[in-house]
Amino acid sequence: MLELARPGPLRPPRLVLRAAVALRRGLLALADAIVPPQLPLFEQSMGVARTQLLRQAVRLGIAERLEAGPRAAQELAREAGVQPDVLHRVLRALAAGGVFALRPDGKFANNRLSRALRAAAPASAGALAAYLGSGSNAAAWADLEATVATGQSAFRRVHGASVWEWLARHDGERRTFAEAMGHVTELDAPAIAAGYPFGELDLVCDVAGGRGALLSEILRRHPRPRGVLLDEAAVLAEAPAFLAGRGVAGRVTCHAGSIFEAVPPGCDAYLLKDVLHDWDDAACLRILAACRRAARRGARVLVAEVLLERAEASSPGALTDVQMMTVCEQGRQRSAAELQALLARAGFSPGPVRALAAAVSLVEAVG
Angle, helix 84-96 to helix 47-59, in steps of 10 degrees? 120
Which one of the listed residues 88, 183, 222, 277 is annotated catalytic? 277
Tell me, what DSSP letter sits at residue 255?
E
Q: What does the alpha-carbon distance between residue 63 and residue 32 come to, in Å, rounded to a whole number?
A: 30
> d(Cα 126, Cα 62) in Å, to the nearest integer?
11
Judge whether 364 and 300 are in contact, CB under 8 Å. yes
Q: Count of residues for the chain?
A: 367
Helix (H, G, I), strand (E, B), or coil: what is residue 233?
Answer: helix
Q: Does residue 277 carry a catalytic annotation?
A: yes
**Is the backbone peptide bond immediately before 316 cis, with ω within 30 degrees of 0?**
yes
59 class by beta-carbon count within 10 Å (0-12 exposed, 13-18 middle, 19+ buried): middle
Contact 221, 158 (CB under 8 A): no
For the chain, how long is the longest CA-to-CA vector? 68
Cα(first)–Cα(last) distance of the chain, in Å? 38
- As annotated, the active-site residues are 277
